Amino acid sequence: MSHIRICLIGDFAPNPDEGMRKFATKLREELSTKAELILFNPSRALRFKEIVNFKPDIIQYIPGPSPVSLLILRMLKWRIPSAVTSSIITHPYFLVRNPIFWVFFPPDITMTFSYDWKDHLDRFTKNAFIIPGAVDTSRFKPIPPSEKKALRKKLGLPEDAFIALHVGHLRKGRGLTKMMALVDKGITPVIVAAKSTGMDPGFKKRLVEGKCIVINEYVPDVESYYQASDCYVFPNESPLMAMNLPLSILEAMACDLPIVSFDFGAISRWYGDVPGVNIVRSDEELISRITDIKEKRPEIATRKAVENNDWGNLAKTIYSIFEEAVR
């Protein structure tokens, strides 16, 4: 079979500094080696003439799903009946849990990181697939302890502190205020926030006054902050505030950091049994686990758990699903 023709709908902004943009960009890069692609931003997804002229075999909507994205895929299917429509459950809006969307607006293919979501979708469709997460393990990797102090000095971080890192959005709903409680435990909270996702100056001020170090700018070498840290913290509990399998957690694991995270999305199903991954269910337990890591330095095997989960592997999995669908 010749190359599959794929219409990718997503945010392919240059210099991606946020998980969903990174996901779209890396998937585009990897699929471009296997398929012929045309790219559309979601705001241009209903430009039927351009998509029809491309004659796609697959129409893949990356962000979401949401009521709007499922409706857009349905409208494109009406216009191009031969195309296979596909949605990836990366950052699901809670509304699409409602069966009505999967009964009346189902894409031909749905892919998800979550076994819980697959069980839900299996009630309405036969074409729901589990896919793995992905991370650039050649870029995100641990450094020798002997290099950490020099790296901290370069980044302007305290050289002898125990650093608990979070990378992501600077939004109130992400649970970041919980990190301020670490200061009394002799732990330095560092938050690297994506500039492109916006920022509430008052909220940033609150975190800084709580003695968090906040970096709110585009950081091209964000891996250096993981490498300079001692622990990664994911304090978010809201399903509206992060990908179902957060990319930042995979990046931290690739750097062989211990993880302390709320039981969010698909994290515990994929990595809950990995030495060094700590799943918590309360603010008190979050602080306690991070403190234990500081004091006891327990066994860690986080990089080993993701070292085969590169973007090429994810693209290969997705492409094989596409090949089967267009046969």
List pLDDT tens digits, range 194-230.
Answer: 776 566 778 889 999 999 999 988 888 999 999 999 9
Q: Residue 199: its pLDDT value, please? A: 65
Query: Model pTM?
Result: 0.93
pLDDT at 30: 94
* pLDDT < 50: residue spans in the chain: 1
Q: Where in the chain are the domains? A: 5-134+310-326, 145-306
Angle at 8 between CA 37 and CA 93, to 5 degrees: 170
Same fold, 5-134+310-326 and 145-306: yes
Class of domain 145-306: alpha beta
User: Tokens 């699929």 correspond to what residue?
Assistant: 31
Q: Domain 5-134+310-326: give its CATH code.
A: 3.40.50.2000
Give φ, ψ of 309 to 5 degrees.
Answer: -95, 60
Q: Please write the tens of the pLDDT for every residue from 68-113.
A: 999 999 999 999 999 999 999 988 777 788 889 898 899 999 999 9
Question: What pLDDT is attached to residue 17?
Answer: 59
